[in-house]
C-alpha cells in the first residue's frame, strides 16, 4: 500500500502562550513593550498561528528575520507592528518598507538604498554591542544616527542590540555590552533625539534579571515555554506551547521473509515484521542520525526509525499491524509513550531548540 507525502501537523496550546505572555509581563517593569520574536517560523511553532494569537494579546509588535514571513503576515491582516530584523539586502528595504514593515538599518548601504528610493521609511537601527555580527558598532552609533541616518530623511522608530548568552559565566560579557548600549540612548536624548523604542534584552537577559536598558524587550523562547539555562525563569510557571508534532504513514509493507533493509542493508527485519514509511526526511528537517537509534510513537508504542532519506523515514514496527494514514507522533505523546524535545536534539546532534526549528516549514500553520 502507498500514499502521498504527508506534512507535519502541530498541536499547539495557545492558552499556554497567553499564560506565558502574562507571566512574562508580570516579571518586567510596568509598561515595558514586548517585541515578540517569531523568527524561524515562530521557533518551529507556525508563524501565522502564533502571530494571530499575539495580535489578540495586544503586544507592541513582532519581529522576524524572514522577509517572506513579514510580507505574508501583513497580507494576512496582522495588525501588530512587524519589525524585520537586520540582514536583508539593502536593495530590498524600500519595497519591504512600502508594504508596512519596519525595516532595520545596519550600515550606510541600508540608508543609501532607502534614501535613493525616496520611500517614507520607518526604521530601527541595529547596534553591535559586542556580538560582532550585524549592526553599527556601538562607539559609532550616535554619530551614525546624527550624521547619516537622520539627514537621509529616515524616521528612527527605535534602536536595538542583541547580546545572547547561554551560561552564567557569560552574563558579565552581556553586562559590558549593555552598559555601552545604554550610553547611546542617553547621548541621543541629550542631543534632542529620542527613539520611541530602545531594546536590548532577549530571553536570556530577561531570565537573568539584567538591567532593562530601555523600554522594550524582545522575548523568544520564554514565550514558547523554553526555559533559558540562566536565571530563575523556571519558577515563573511557563508552559510549553507545542504539545506535539505528528504526521501520517504513507506506505506499509508486511515482510514475508527475513531481509536486510535501510542504507547499505544495515537493519535486519524478519518474516512477519511490518515496516512503514512517513513523509519526513532530510528535506523537511529530519536530521536524525540513525546510529543514535531515534524513535517515534505509533499507536501508543515507541518504534525505531531505521533509515532517513531526503523525503522519507522508514520505521520498523515489528510484528504489529499498521495502515496507511495511521498517525505517527514525532514529538510529544500518545498514550503512555512520548518523545521529548531533548531526545529529538540528541538524535540530531543538536541543541533541542535547534532541532525543533529545523523541522518542516510546510507544517499546517
Task: For 127-168, write each residue's pLDDT tens digit.
Answer: 999 999 999 999 999 999 999 999 999 999 999 999 988 877
Question: Quick one: pLDDT band at residue 6, thresholds 50, 70, 90?
Answer: low
Give the residue from 207, 205, 203, 231 showing the smallest Cα distance to 219.
203
Q: Quick one: pLDDT at residue 26?
A: 94
Q: Quick one: pLDDT at residue 250?
A: 97
Kindly state the cell numbers that stand for 64: 522576524
Arithmetic mean of pLDDT over the chain: 92
Given a cut of 60, is residue 336 above it in pLDDT? yes
Question: Quick one: pLDDT band at residue 3, thresholds 50, 70, 90?
Answer: very low
pLDDT > 70: what percent of the chain? 97
Given a cut of 80, is residue 362 above it in pLDDT? no
| Cβ-contact 205, 229 below 8 angstroms | no
Q: CA 31 to CA 35: how far, in whole Å? A: 12
Are domains 31-223 and 243-357 of this chain identical in fold? no
Given a cut of 60, is residue 244 above it in pLDDT? yes
80-84 contacts at long range (C-beta below 8 A, 24 or more positions apart): 80/51, 80/54, 80/55, 83/35, 83/124, 83/158
Comparing 82-86, 224-228, 250-254, 327-331, which segment has the lowest mean pLDDT?
Answer: 224-228
Give the residue from 11, 58, 45 showing the smallest Cα distance to 226.
45
| Cβ-contact 305, 288 below 8 angstroms | yes
Given a cut of 80, is residue 272 above it in pLDDT? yes
Q: Quick one: pLDDT at residue 52?
A: 96
**Considering only the top CATH level, what class is 31-223?**
alpha beta
Pairing of strands 155-161, 197-202: parallel
Given a cut of 80, is residue 119 above it in pLDDT? no
Give the residue from 244, 255, 305 showing the smallest Cα distance to 278.
305
Q: Quick one: pLDDT at residue 363?
A: 57
Question: Quick one: pLDDT band at residue 2, thresholds 50, 70, 90?
Answer: very low
Q: Quick one: pLDDT at residue 361?
A: 61
Given a cut of 80, is residue 306 above it in pLDDT? yes
Q: Quick one: pLDDT at residue 93?
A: 94
Domain boundaries, the chain: 31-223, 243-357
Comparing 167-181, 206-220, 232-246, which segment has the lowest mean pLDDT?
Answer: 167-181
Strand partners, 335: none
Q: What topology does CATH give the domain 243-357?
A: Lyase, Ornithine Decarboxylase; Chain A, domain 1 (2.40.37)
Question: Quick one: pLDDT band at residue 233, thresholds 50, 70, 90?
Answer: confident
Q: Quick one: pLDDT at residue 1?
A: 35
Pairing of strands 136-137, 155-161: unpaired
In 3-state terms, what secondary structure has residue 210? coil
Pairing of strands 33-37, 216-218: parallel
Cα-based distances in Å from 93 to 35, 66, 134, 135: 20, 12, 16, 15
Given a cut of 60, is residue 193 above it in pLDDT? yes
Amino acid at each position: 500500500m502507498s500514499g502521498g507525502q504527508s506534512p507535519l501537523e502541530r498541536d499547539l496550546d495557545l492558552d499556554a502562550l497567553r499564560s506565558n505572555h502574562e507571566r512574562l509581563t508580570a516579571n518586567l517593569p510596568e509598561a515595558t513593550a514586548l517585541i515578540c520574536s517569531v523568527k524561524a517560523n515562530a521557533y518551529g511553532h507556525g508563524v501565522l498561528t502564533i502571530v494571530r494569537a499575539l495580535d489578540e494579546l495586544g503586544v507592541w509588535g513582532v519581529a522576524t528575520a524572514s522577509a517572506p514571513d513579514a510580507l505574508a503576515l501583513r497580507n494576512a491582516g496582522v495588525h501588530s507592528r512587524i519589525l524585520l530584523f537586520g540582514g536583508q539586502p539593502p536593495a530590498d528595504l524600500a519595497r519591504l518598507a512600502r508594504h508596512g514593515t519596519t525595516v532595520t538599518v545596519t550600515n550606510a548601504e541600508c540608508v543609501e538604498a532607502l534614501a535613493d528610493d525616496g520611500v517614507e521609511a520607518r526604521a530601527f537601527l541595529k547596534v553591535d554591542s559586542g556580538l560582532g555580527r550585524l549592526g553599527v558598532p556601538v562607539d559609532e552609533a550616535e554619530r551614525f544616527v546624527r550624521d547619516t541616518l537622520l539627514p537621509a530623511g529616515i524616521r528612527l522608530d527605535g534602536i536595538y542590540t542583541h547580546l545572547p548568552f547561554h551560561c552564567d559565566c557569560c552574563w558579565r560579557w552581556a553586562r559590558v555590552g549593555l552598559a555601552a548600549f545604554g550610553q547611546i540612548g542617553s547621548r541621543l536624548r541629550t542631543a534632542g533625539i529620542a527613539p520611541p523604542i530602545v531594546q536590548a534584552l532577549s530571553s536570556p537577559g530577561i531570565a537573568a534579571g539584567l538591567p532593562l536598558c530601555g523600554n522594550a524587550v524582545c522575548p523568544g523562547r520564554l514565550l514558547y515555554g523554553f526555559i533559558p539555562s540562566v536565571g530563575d525563569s523556571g519558577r515563573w510557571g511557563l508552559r510549553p506551547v507545542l504539545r506535539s508534532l505528528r504526521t501520517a504513514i504513507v506506505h506499509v509493507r508486511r515482510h514475508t521473509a527475513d531481509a536486510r533493509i535501510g542504507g547499505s542493508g544495515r537493519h535486519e527485519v524478519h518474516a512477519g515484521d511490518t515496516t512503514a514509511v512517513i513523509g519526513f526526511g532530510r528535506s523537511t528537517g529530519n536530521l536524525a542520525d540513525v546510529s543514535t537509534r531515534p524513535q517515534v510513537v505509533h499507536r501508543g508504542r515507541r518504534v525505531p526509525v531505521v533509515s532517513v532519506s531526503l523525503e522519507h523515514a522508514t520505521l520498523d514496527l515489528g510484528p504489529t499491524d499498521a495502515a496507511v494514514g495511521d498517525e505517527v507522533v514525532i514529538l510529544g505523546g500518545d498514550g503512555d509513550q512520548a518523545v521529548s524535545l531533548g531526545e529529538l536534539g540528541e538524535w540530531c546532534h543538536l541543541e533541542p531548540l535547534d532541532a525543533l526549528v529545523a523541522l518542516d516549514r510546510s507544517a499546517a500553520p
